[in-house]
Amino acid sequence: MIYYCARGICRLLFVFLGLKKEGIDKIPRKGAVIVASNHMSNWDPIMVGISLPRPVYFMAKVELFNNKILGKLLTALHAFPVKRGAADRKAIRQALQVLEEGKVLGIFPEGARKKVLPGAQVQSGVALLALKSGAPVIPVACIGTDKAFPLGWFRPLLVKVGEPVDLDKYRGQKISSAVLEEVSEAIMQEINSLLDK
């Protein structure tokens, strides 16, 4: 109930702020989906969450859950904690459970706060989840939230959804660090291509 009320209020707010959306029809109507987006500001998960036609379950940094009230609110808004920079097995299990239930999982890959430069290190969590679950990965770009202040008043806000990342050649392969690195780079390239257009 809290999730849908908050989503409705935020949708009205962002209509007023001039939020535009492109490619929303590329999100499958049903079944497990991983949405991988760049991350420029705290507004990004809100923009993605209200733009997509289905509820999104986000992985959020564990520090946000240290405050009990905020933690309960985030849980009600379909977020769950993940320890950044560590192999958080509990978070991985929870993310896989979300996908097994045919839901939409939202991830902001580390290193994607802005455009990822060649040679930048990318975390492999999204790649691991994609290969273990078999769920399609949909790249998303949030544009304008890094420069819009007050939000949306001087800069256009845009959420762009791309085509599913082609990971067919990696399906069925043994999951190794090299494979995870290649898959991570492939995903980030697709996100960057949306930012370039």
- Which are the contacts of 146, defined by CB distance < 8 A and separation ≥ 6? 40, 41, 114
Rg (CA), the chain: 16
| Listed range (35-39, 150-154, 165-169) with the worst mean pLDDT | 150-154
pLDDT digits (tens, 9 = 90+) for 10-61: 999 888 888 999 999 999 999 999 999 998 888 899 999 999 999 999 998 8
Given a contact cutoff of 8 angstroms between Cβ atoms, the answer to whether 138 and 104 are in contact is no
State yes or no: pLDDT of 130 exceeds 60. Answer: yes
What number of CA atoms fall less than 13 Å from residue 15's CA on the CB side? 6
pLDDT digits (tens, 9 = 90+) for 63-118: 989 999 999 999 999 999 988 777 789 999 999 999 999 999 999 986 444 554 44
Would you state the pLDDT for residue 119?
46
CATH of residue 70's domain is: 3.40.1130.10
Cα(43)–Cα(58) distance, rounded to whole angstroms? 13
Cα(166)–Cα(149) distance, rounded to whole angstroms? 36
Hey, what are 50's tokens?
């209200």
- Domain of 151, in residue numbers: 2-196
The more confidently predicted of residues 34 and 195 is 34
Report in angstroms the alpha-carbon separations of 27 from 50, 103, 141. Answer: 13, 12, 14
- DSSP letter for 88, please: -
Look up the pTM and report it. Answer: 0.89
Please count the structural domains in the chain: 1
Would you state the pLDDT for residue 112?
44
